[in-house]
Amino acid sequence: MRILLISATPPELRQTAEWLEAATHESREVARPQHDSLPLQTEQLITGVGQLQTAYCLLKKICTHRPDFVIQAGIGGSTDAKHIGQVFGIHSDGLADLGVKEKAGFKSIFDLSLGNPEHFPFSDGSLKNPYTHLMAWSGFSFLEGITVNEISTTRSRIQALKQKSSCFVESMEGAALHYVCLMEKIPFLQIRSVSNVLGERDKSRWKLSESLTNLNVALIRFIKKLQTTDETIFRF
Protein backbone atom coordinates (compact mmCIF):
# COMPACT_ATOMS: atom_id res chain seq x y z
CA MET A 1 0.00 0.00 0.00
CA ARG A 2 1.34 3.39 -1.01
CA ILE A 3 1.11 6.10 1.63
CA LEU A 4 1.98 9.70 0.82
CA LEU A 5 2.99 11.88 3.77
CA ILE A 6 2.76 15.59 3.05
CA SER A 7 3.49 18.74 5.01
CA ALA A 8 4.01 22.40 4.21
CA THR A 9 7.54 22.63 5.64
CA PRO A 10 10.37 20.13 6.36
CA PRO A 11 10.34 20.55 10.18
CA GLU A 12 6.77 19.29 10.35
CA LEU A 13 7.84 15.85 9.04
CA ARG A 14 11.49 15.78 10.10
CA GLN A 15 11.28 13.37 13.03
CA THR A 16 9.03 10.99 11.11
CA ALA A 17 11.32 11.15 8.10
CA GLU A 18 14.31 10.26 10.28
CA TRP A 19 12.41 7.35 11.81
CA LEU A 20 11.40 6.07 8.37
CA GLU A 21 14.96 6.37 7.08
CA ALA A 22 16.32 4.43 10.04
CA ALA A 23 13.68 1.73 9.64
CA THR A 24 14.34 1.49 5.91
CA HIS A 25 18.09 1.25 6.43
CA GLU A 26 17.59 -1.52 8.96
CA SER A 27 15.17 -3.69 7.01
CA ARG A 28 15.08 -2.20 3.49
CA GLU A 29 11.38 -1.44 4.00
CA VAL A 30 9.33 0.70 6.39
CA ALA A 31 8.88 -2.26 8.70
CA ARG A 32 8.94 -5.98 8.13
CA PRO A 33 5.23 -6.86 8.04
CA GLN A 34 3.89 -9.68 10.12
CA HIS A 35 1.54 -12.32 8.72
CA ASP A 36 -1.70 -10.81 7.38
CA SER A 37 -0.51 -7.27 8.10
CA LEU A 38 -0.61 -4.49 5.55
CA PRO A 39 2.72 -3.88 3.74
CA LEU A 40 3.37 -0.16 3.51
CA GLN A 41 5.38 1.93 1.10
CA THR A 42 5.77 5.51 2.24
CA GLU A 43 6.80 8.61 0.34
CA GLN A 44 7.18 12.14 1.64
CA LEU A 45 6.27 15.40 -0.07
CA ILE A 46 6.98 18.95 1.10
CA THR A 47 4.42 21.12 -0.65
CA GLY A 48 5.33 24.59 0.54
CA VAL A 49 3.09 26.96 2.50
CA GLY A 50 -0.41 27.82 1.35
CA GLN A 51 -3.30 26.40 -0.59
CA LEU A 52 -1.98 27.00 -4.11
CA GLN A 53 1.34 25.25 -3.61
CA THR A 54 -0.27 22.41 -1.71
CA ALA A 55 -2.94 21.79 -4.33
CA TYR A 56 -0.47 21.90 -7.22
CA CYS A 57 2.22 19.74 -5.63
CA LEU A 58 -0.25 17.17 -4.37
CA LEU A 59 -2.12 16.86 -7.66
CA LYS A 60 1.13 16.62 -9.62
CA LYS A 61 2.28 13.79 -7.34
CA ILE A 62 -1.06 12.00 -7.70
CA CYS A 63 -0.82 12.21 -11.50
CA THR A 64 2.67 10.70 -11.61
CA HIS A 65 2.57 8.26 -8.67
CA ARG A 66 -0.93 7.79 -7.32
CA PRO A 67 -1.00 6.93 -3.60
CA ASP A 68 -3.57 4.76 -1.86
CA PHE A 69 -3.73 7.03 1.17
CA VAL A 70 -2.60 10.61 1.85
CA ILE A 71 -1.71 11.91 5.31
CA GLN A 72 -1.16 15.61 5.82
CA ALA A 73 0.69 16.51 9.02
CA GLY A 74 1.28 20.01 10.29
CA ILE A 75 0.89 22.54 13.05
CA GLY A 76 -1.90 25.05 13.44
CA GLY A 77 -3.54 27.59 15.69
CA SER A 78 -6.59 26.94 17.85
CA THR A 79 -9.31 29.02 19.42
CA ASP A 80 -8.74 27.34 22.79
CA ALA A 81 -5.55 27.62 24.85
CA LYS A 82 -6.13 24.20 26.42
CA HIS A 83 -5.46 22.64 23.00
CA ILE A 84 -1.86 23.84 22.81
CA GLY A 85 0.47 20.87 22.37
CA GLN A 86 -2.39 18.48 21.59
CA VAL A 87 -2.74 16.57 18.32
CA PHE A 88 -6.06 16.34 16.49
CA GLY A 89 -7.47 14.85 13.35
CA ILE A 90 -9.52 17.24 11.22
CA HIS A 91 -12.94 15.93 10.23
CA SER A 92 -13.84 18.81 7.92
CA ASP A 93 -12.17 21.90 6.53
CA GLY A 94 -13.21 24.98 4.63
CA LEU A 95 -12.17 28.16 2.86
CA ALA A 96 -12.58 30.63 5.69
CA ASP A 97 -11.47 33.80 3.90
CA LEU A 98 -12.74 33.27 0.35
CA GLY A 99 -15.37 35.96 -0.04
CA VAL A 100 -15.82 39.61 0.83
CA LYS A 101 -15.55 41.65 4.00
CA GLU A 102 -18.33 44.20 4.34
CA LYS A 103 -19.48 46.52 7.09
CA ALA A 104 -21.99 43.92 8.22
CA GLY A 105 -19.25 41.30 8.40
CA PHE A 106 -17.64 38.65 6.25
CA LYS A 107 -19.61 36.89 3.52
CA SER A 108 -18.36 33.66 1.94
CA ILE A 109 -18.75 32.76 -1.73
CA PHE A 110 -21.74 30.68 -0.65
CA ASP A 111 -23.31 33.63 1.17
CA LEU A 112 -22.83 35.63 -2.02
CA SER A 113 -24.44 32.87 -4.17
CA LEU A 114 -21.19 32.50 -6.10
CA GLY A 115 -21.09 28.80 -5.32
CA ASN A 116 -23.37 25.99 -4.24
CA PRO A 117 -22.56 24.83 -0.69
CA GLU A 118 -23.89 21.36 -1.60
CA HIS A 119 -22.02 20.97 -4.88
CA PHE A 120 -19.43 18.19 -4.62
CA PRO A 121 -16.92 18.11 -3.03
CA PHE A 122 -18.62 20.59 -0.67
CA SER A 123 -21.26 19.59 1.83
CA ASP A 124 -22.97 22.38 3.74
CA GLY A 125 -20.14 24.60 2.53
CA SER A 126 -17.44 22.39 4.06
CA LEU A 127 -14.99 19.80 2.77
CA LYS A 128 -15.82 16.82 4.96
CA ASN A 129 -13.69 13.71 5.26
CA PRO A 130 -16.13 10.90 4.33
CA TYR A 131 -13.97 8.09 5.71
CA THR A 132 -15.67 8.11 9.09
CA HIS A 133 -14.74 4.49 9.86
CA LEU A 134 -11.07 5.29 9.19
CA MET A 135 -11.24 8.36 11.44
CA ALA A 136 -12.88 6.37 14.24
CA TRP A 137 -10.27 3.63 13.89
CA SER A 138 -7.38 6.12 13.93
CA GLY A 139 -7.77 6.87 17.63
CA PHE A 140 -7.42 10.63 17.17
CA SER A 141 -9.73 13.20 18.68
CA PHE A 142 -11.26 15.29 15.91
CA LEU A 143 -11.97 18.99 15.48
CA GLU A 144 -13.15 21.16 12.64
CA GLY A 145 -10.48 22.86 10.55
CA ILE A 146 -10.48 26.13 8.64
CA THR A 147 -8.00 27.23 6.00
CA VAL A 148 -6.89 30.81 5.47
CA ASN A 149 -4.53 32.78 3.29
CA GLU A 150 -3.83 35.24 6.08
CA ILE A 151 -3.37 34.02 9.65
CA SER A 152 -6.12 35.39 11.88
CA THR A 153 -4.70 37.92 14.35
CA THR A 154 -7.35 40.51 15.15
CA ARG A 155 -10.00 40.02 17.83
CA SER A 156 -12.81 41.08 15.48
CA ARG A 157 -11.79 38.55 12.82
CA ILE A 158 -11.46 35.72 15.34
CA GLN A 159 -14.84 36.55 16.85
CA ALA A 160 -16.39 36.50 13.37
CA LEU A 161 -14.94 33.06 12.74
CA LYS A 162 -16.22 31.83 16.08
CA GLN A 163 -19.76 32.77 15.12
CA LYS A 164 -19.76 29.87 12.67
CA SER A 165 -17.73 27.47 14.81
CA SER A 166 -16.74 27.99 18.42
CA CYS A 167 -13.83 25.55 18.31
CA PHE A 168 -11.53 24.86 15.37
CA VAL A 169 -7.94 24.55 14.18
CA GLU A 170 -6.64 27.04 11.63
CA SER A 171 -4.08 26.19 8.95
CA MET A 172 -3.05 27.46 5.52
CA GLU A 173 -3.16 24.13 3.65
CA GLY A 174 -5.84 21.82 5.04
CA ALA A 175 -8.66 22.66 2.61
CA ALA A 176 -6.36 21.97 -0.35
CA LEU A 177 -5.75 18.42 0.90
CA HIS A 178 -9.46 17.80 1.42
CA TYR A 179 -10.45 19.28 -1.94
CA VAL A 180 -7.90 17.40 -4.05
CA CYS A 181 -8.39 14.04 -2.33
CA LEU A 182 -12.18 14.29 -2.45
CA MET A 183 -12.06 15.11 -6.16
CA GLU A 184 -9.59 12.30 -6.86
CA LYS A 185 -11.39 9.83 -4.55
CA ILE A 186 -8.29 9.05 -2.49
CA PRO A 187 -8.61 8.27 1.24
CA PHE A 188 -6.96 10.96 3.35
CA LEU A 189 -6.41 12.19 6.87
CA GLN A 190 -5.34 15.61 8.09
CA ILE A 191 -3.44 15.65 11.39
CA ARG A 192 -2.74 18.93 13.22
CA SER A 193 -0.77 19.71 16.35
CA VAL A 194 -1.75 22.97 18.02
CA SER A 195 1.18 25.31 18.55
CA ASN A 196 -0.59 28.53 19.55
CA VAL A 197 -3.82 30.34 20.26
CA LEU A 198 -5.25 32.41 17.42
CA GLY A 199 -4.34 36.07 17.73
CA GLU A 200 -1.19 35.46 19.77
CA ARG A 201 1.71 36.84 17.71
CA ASP A 202 4.31 36.59 20.45
CA LYS A 203 6.09 33.46 19.22
CA SER A 204 8.02 33.17 22.47
CA ARG A 205 4.73 31.96 23.93
CA TRP A 206 4.12 29.43 21.17
CA LYS A 207 4.88 25.77 21.82
CA LEU A 208 6.52 25.08 18.47
CA SER A 209 9.07 22.50 19.62
CA GLU A 210 6.56 20.69 21.79
CA SER A 211 3.87 20.67 19.12
CA LEU A 212 6.27 19.40 16.44
CA THR A 213 7.46 16.59 18.69
CA ASN A 214 3.92 15.63 19.64
CA LEU A 215 2.86 15.74 16.00
CA ASN A 216 5.57 13.34 14.92
CA VAL A 217 5.11 11.00 17.88
CA ALA A 218 1.42 10.74 16.97
CA LEU A 219 2.19 10.30 13.27
CA ILE A 220 4.73 7.53 13.87
CA ARG A 221 2.30 5.77 16.20
CA PHE A 222 -0.39 5.97 13.53
CA ILE A 223 1.88 4.58 10.82
CA LYS A 224 2.78 1.67 13.08
CA LYS A 225 -0.92 1.07 13.66
CA LEU A 226 -1.53 1.03 9.91
CA GLN A 227 0.95 -1.83 9.62
CA THR A 228 -1.31 -4.02 11.76
CA THR A 229 -4.55 -3.58 9.80
CA ASP A 230 -5.90 -4.42 6.37
CA GLU A 231 -7.25 -2.37 3.49
CA THR A 232 -10.90 -2.64 4.51
CA ILE A 233 -10.60 0.53 6.62
CA PHE A 234 -10.04 2.52 3.41
CA ARG A 235 -13.25 1.42 1.75
CA PHE A 236 -16.06 3.93 1.40
Tens-place pLDDT, residues 26-38: 655 544 444 445 6
Q: Which residues of 20-50 are buried (b: 16+ CB within 10 A; e: fewer)?
A: beebeeeeeebbeeeeeebebebebbbbeee
Query: Is 116's pLDDT higher than 50?
Result: yes
Percentage with pLDDT > 70 across the chain:
84
Beta-bridge partner residues of 194 = 76
- What pLDDT score does 81 carry? 85
Residue with more model confidence, 98 or 173 = 173
> pTM for this one?
0.89
**Secondary structure element (H or E) that encloses residue 209, with its range:** helix 208-226
Q: Kindly provide the residue ranges of all beta strands, DSSP E only, lying in the chain, ordered along the sequence.
A: 2-7, 41-46, 69-78, 87-93, 99-102, 105-108, 127-128, 141-147, 168-171, 188-197
Relative orientation angle of helices 174-184 and 51-64, to the nearest 10 degrees:
30
- What pLDDT score does 158 carry? 66
Query: Is 39's pLDDT higher than 80?
Result: no
CA atoms of 84 and 172, how far apart (whole Å) = 18
Q: Is 109 helix (H, G, I), strand (E, B) or coil?
A: coil
- Quick one: which of 73, 78, 79 has its CA closest to 213? 73
Percentage with pLDDT > 90 across the chain:
65
Domains of the chain: 2-234 (3.40.50.1580)
Question: Would you give the end-to-end CA distance of the chain in angstroms?
Answer: 17
Check whether the bond before 121 is cis (ω within 30° of 0). Answer: yes
Mean pLDDT check: name the lowest of 87-101, 107-121, 146-160, 179-193. 146-160
| Tens digit of each residue's pLDDT (9 = 90 or more) over 57-87 | 999 999 999 999 999 999 999 888 899 999 9
